[in-house]
Amino acid sequence: MANNPIEIKIDNKEVTQKLLELARRGENLRPLMKNIAGIFAYSTEENFANEGRPDKWLDLSEKTKKQRKKSGHWPGQILQVEGRLAASITTAYDNESAVIGSNLDYAAIHQLGGQAGKNKSVSIPARPYLKLTTDDMEDIIGCIDKYLF
């Protein structure tokens, strides 16, 4: 009995077309990154409006509330005496990334917390305004799926 090889041919035009389309879309991710930057911006606006999500930021100290009341800024919202921090938030995107941030000197201390003031005598709790929730991450994944598939 002779050993005759078996050959199976599959018409994979549809698979090939889908893979080529995916590769083509992957060449220009700029529109996707623009959408992701938009999600970052919306999420940050919601964080300021809700004073933290999903967990609320720590309340202001009584001393800070008293200072704000004296200057006419209390009652008010945390991290928004005059709105400079919220207004400073910018996004940027290109073909490979989407970013969000602020160029204000005091932006990092409010995001991360730490010691501030004269001789670093004031302890500022972290109030992460650049924070994505689980829902935000699901929106980003949905954007990616919609764009690529």
pLDDT for position 107: 97
Q: Is 50's pLDDT higher than 70?
A: yes
- The first and second tokens of residue 92, run together, are 């940027």
DSSP 36-68: HHHHHHHHHHHHHHHTSSSSPPPPPPHHHHHHH
- The first and second tokens of residue 21, run together, are 């389309």
Kindly report, residue by residue over 83-128, the tens digit of the pLDDT: 999 999 999 999 999 999 999 999 999 999 999 989 999 999 999 9
Cis check for the bond before 54: say yes or no (omega within 30 of 0): yes
The length of the chain in residues reads 149
Percent residues over pLDDT 90 in the chain? 78
pLDDT for position 126: 97
Residue with tokens 């060449």: 27
Give the pLDDT band of residue 62 (cuts 50, 70, 90).
very high
Contacts of 49 (CB under 8 A, 6+ apart): none
Buried-state track 69-81, b at ≥16 Cβ within 10 A, e below 16: eeeeeeeebbbbb
Look at residue 92 and give its three-state secondary structure.
Answer: strand
Pair 52, 128: CB distance under 8 Å = yes
Integer Cα distance of 99 and 38 in angstroms: 10
Kindly report, residue by residue over 120-137, the tens digit of the pLDDT: 999 999 999 999 999 999
Q: Is 1's pLDDT higher than 70?
A: no
Pair 123, 109: CB distance under 8 Å = no
- Tell me the average pLDDT across 30-52: 98
pLDDT for position 24: 87
Is the pTM here over 0.75, yes or no? yes
